[in-house]
Structure 1
């Protein structure tokens, strides 16, 4: 019989993150959304309870968590605030290229930043290279014992606060994606400039910036994996990242449902609570069914990842279905709240703004559908 119950360890992580969210994130989310101020103090508190190093393996001093436990953490953080989940989860995103492609010395060095509770970042997207990673223009040219980096990365999460990042650059522009390589870049190196901070519609507390590299010199030992394997490492990284995005969107969807249930039970019309309306009940049923289906897809993807099986298709499915579901659920909630759902300071107004970007980042849902279709057609 299929056992879908959580292990004791997973239950403990869920409870710990839920407590953290209730104490630090939910009470402060509205203010950080209003000011777009980076939640540095909250990130520091997250570090104290082990939420910054979830991607670090046991042999390097981390917790060595399985995919489902990481998913639970992302879900609980997303329930509190997607912007803060994106910020805290950035340490996992940046660590994956090193985890999957780095040598022992690189892992030891990079993971130590995370264990020291430093903030890290991952840089792939450029002004002219979003969904088309092969259009990356940032170059890494070998000069003696060093690579020289030149180019600009945009929409870099945590870029202004990171101590180190993993970066994808072209070491052979003539080869397209086969000429991309991955590098570790310490952010205190000469020639790195943090530029424009994006003023976003949603996830406003997360730091999203442009980072420019002007003749930045890094030792050749900072090349992660083999030359020309950067695109492959980026895609493996994004498989894991999409699962985290899906999990965060699941948490947001559950929060929307929670807040909607609370509202329709309290708000009355003609002397009766809105919850007595069959129309409202049908909407709640639709929301609950879609959320349940999304959770099942995420859990299957976690199972595949933990089993060492291919999960690219399922990760794309989970990301697409869950973020699309979150958008639908948030829109239904705003409808049910009526004018109270559209005004500032409304919980569901913020949640709806936050969720939109989840259909866009870590590979837009249109790109995910291409990935899914390719897998289905070539099965």
Structure 2
């Protein structure tokens, strides 16, 4: 399903034009989808071990459920058997047991049928993925998806959006009290993705404007002023928390320091937002492209092969000194998507080189041809590791890296697949 009108600036030799490469992408996407089908639980979805099996004590995780719903909805939209029923399963779980019927919003998961204290807390990161999942499910015509989308959008806008700041608030207690004294780049980055999808599906441009405001603060104001070093952690008065989680350098969502993979993930989100604005409004700020290139260059410089061994590492400190040199799979996937986006946007051969370099690296070090799926993490010597991610729970990042090269920068994935057929 290649993009119907690929960039005219791409050469005939580009991998993005090569039929064999496009077939390879489809094949890899199918392998990932098949591997993760085993993550279905009675309620929602849960993590898989390295062999693709559910642990005996597997519990439903709401973020995984939302991500699986999003992915399988789009895969079902492409006509791939077995996928739409899984999306339907996800929508049902999100509308029922995983939802907080008393206070509204969603639990982070369940432990033996009930949310723990931490799972009961309402997280923006999670709610952004529920909004994304609902929007993709609506495009795929999954039953009850419109109901999920309405609930998710209403809760997300009313509880998490801060109009005065132009960002999303981070978290609350179960009853929406006790707002966390924290503003995070990670959850707001994923909010940008979800906002663009909601704008496409609902037709309400306010979501796209919210995405632009988030980008203006985190990237065009803060990162640009720091030579595109992206600080992750702030308090509610917007003081940078440089020492945040210093004692948890391998935290899976809020690690100490800066995450070069996020520099690169923001890079392609900026290009997608630029394309969305050009497509719907006819104009977009010129700095979106400038900042995207700046983030890409900074992310590659800070993250790629810092010890001479290929791969994008996990974190660096304030001075860009490596902190955790393990290479998570998602950092490679997002770098690849950024290279593909910049290649489509500019046609510059350096991005073709990076696109090929990233796929060669992923093919040799991440794709697990013995047990299935992708290895979630390798160490500094590119040997399998489980320091940050102990299992193979993620489908979202890896699968989107197989889809992104096939579709245009806008609209968002589900809407693009529907348009391209």
Which TM-score tier does this pair reach, normalised by the shorter chain? under 0.3
Which structure has more helix as a fraction of its residues?
Answer: 1
TM-score of the pair, normalised by structure 2:
0.24
Which structure has more strand as a fraction of its residues?
Answer: 1
